[in-house]
Amino acid sequence: MERAYLGGGCFWCLDALYRRVRGVVEVTSGYGGGHVEGPSYEQVSGGASGHAEVVEIGFDPKVITYNKLLEIFWHIHDPTTPDRQGFDVGPQYRSIILFSDADQKKAAQQSLKEVAQPLWGDRVVTELKPLQQFYPAEDYHQDYFNKNPQAGYCQAIINPKLAKFQKEFASLLKPV
């Protein structure tokens, strides 16, 4: 199993979408890209820890590639808005790819140039940064959408993204 670390707004959205992709074995919501050890949600949401909300995606590269995960990433969030995704505002919601080795770095750079920029234009602000440490978020953040489908955020924000995602990437979805 390989791992990818991506941040594109609230981790609940990315978690809900990537859990539905064939080849994705596990998804963990958490924090990365900051300078505080073992940050709490309160520290991250306050903006002072430097962390972004990210997901750790464990995937089987024989079923889905890192490049395909990146392609999905560019389509499911807006990488042109610094420190913001929709109504979620702050540095914890920035677009970020945390790469774990030189191959992932090269793939992310290439994907940004060949997929993100043609899709969104030249003003892509996604941060590419080496993974230093990933910190899993508190338990109540894990698999949030599936555990809380009636929550307001899930209904208003995640459901529309999920519907668009399922239509656009139908061929990549796990069987129901």
Which residues are annotated as catalytic? 10
Q: 175 near 47, Cβ under 8 Å?
A: no
Distance from chain centroid for Cα 143: 13
Q: Which among 13, 11, 15 has a CA at the least distance from the CA of 143?
A: 15
Cα torsion 25, 30, 36, 41 to 10°: value is -160
Among the residues of 40-143, which ranges form H helices? 41-45, 66-76, 102-111, 117-120
The tokens describing 51, both together, are 């962390």
Q: Are 29 and 136 in contact (CB under 8 A)?
A: yes
